[in-house]
């Protein structure tokens, strides 16, 4: 057997040389694209955990950067939206916080902590009807939260819904029978106005 018989057939090297640079670039892009597609959720979660750590340490601007990256990679990551809204609130960007809480709640309507934080922002901003809706959603999960029952009752009073305010004050009294504030508000709301002569 000669040395020529041990070498590869001539056609193999010729075929490899005929792969154009464009075809090589397309194959490389395909490999990178598939890698990104499969690694995307992992990278999003990694960005989310970094952001969470920065947020816990009070580095809200850094957290915002990483939450945005996580959302870019996985737009349906509701926790990232919610925590991004929290960071916006902490840095004084209230309108961005409100918008981002809305996005978070559209992705996960059962995120009761976001309902609470969104409700508090709405209450502070004077949108008492929206605040009451958010507090009601939060209270579905934690019905015995006296402070939130208080804000709920006040919200209903501020929008002029005496009936719902009375119900909220009664719920509060059920949880905290010693609440003088609830008793005062109930007495005022339940006592009809005396006719003027």
pLDDT > 80? residue 79: yes
Of the ranges 125-129, 145-149, 191-195, which one carries the lowest mean pLDDT score? 191-195
Report which of 173, 167, 128, 174 is spatially closest to residue 151, judged by C-alpha positions.
128
Q: For position 175, which CATH number holds? A: 1.25.40.10
Number of domains in the chain: 2
How confident is the model over 138-163, as a mean pLDDT? 96
| pLDDT of amino acid 194 | 45
144 Cβ contact partners less than 8 Å away, ≥ 6 residues apart: 175
Residue 100 lies in a domain: no
Residue 168 lies in a domain: yes
| pLDDT of amino acid 40 | 81
Distance, CA of 135 to CA of 137 (rounded, Å): 5
Residue 9 lies in a domain: no
| pLDDT of amino acid 172 | 96
pLDDT > 90? residue 2: no
Handedness of CA 137, 135, 92, 95 (dihedral sign): positive
Residues 56 and 125 placed together within one structural domain of the fold:
no
Residue where one domain finishes, among candidates 32, 50, 84:
84
| pLDDT of amino acid 50 | 96
Structure-model confidence comparison of residues 105 and 196, the more confident one:
105
Domain that includes residue 169, residue range: 109-190
CA distances from 14 to 9, 10, 18, 24 (A): 10, 7, 6, 16
Residues 122 and 79 placed together within one structural domain of the fold:
no
Residues 177 and 122 placed together within one structural domain of the fold:
yes
Residues 142 and 72 placed together within one structural domain of the fold:
no
| pLDDT of amino acid 15 | 54
Structure confidence by residue, pLDDT tens digits, 48-71? 999 999 999 999 999 999 999 999
Residues 113 and 183 placed together within one structural domain of the fold:
yes
Residue 38 lies in a domain: yes
Residue 103 lies in a domain: no
| pLDDT of amino acid 64 | 98
128 exposure class (CB count in 10 Å sphere: 0-12, 13-18, 19+): buried
């Amino acid at each position: 057997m000669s040395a020529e018989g041990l070498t590869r057939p001539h056609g193999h090297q010729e075929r490899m040389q005929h792969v154009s640079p464009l075809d090589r670039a397309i194959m490389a892009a395909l490999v990178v694209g598939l890698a990104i597609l499969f690694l995307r959720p992992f990278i999003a979660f990694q960005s989310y955990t970094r952001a969470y750590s920065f947020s816990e340490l009070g580095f809200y601007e850094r957290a915002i950067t990483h939450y945005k990256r996580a959302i870019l990679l996985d737009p349906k990551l509701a926790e990232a939206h919610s925590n991004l809204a929290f960071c916006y609130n902490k840095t004084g960007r209230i309108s961005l916080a409100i918008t981002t809480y809305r996005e978070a709640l559209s992705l996960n309507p059962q995120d009761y902590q976001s309902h609470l934080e969104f409700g508090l922002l709405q209450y502070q901003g004077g949108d008492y009807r929206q605040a009451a809706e958010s507090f009601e959603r939060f209270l579905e999960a934690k019905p015995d939260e006296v402070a939130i029952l208080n804000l709920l009752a006040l919200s209903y009073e501020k929008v002029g819904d005496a009936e719902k305010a009375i119900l909220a004050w009664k719920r509060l009294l059920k949880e905290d029978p010693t609440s003088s504030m609830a008793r005062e508000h109930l007495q005022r709301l339940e006592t009809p106005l005396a006719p003027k002569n």
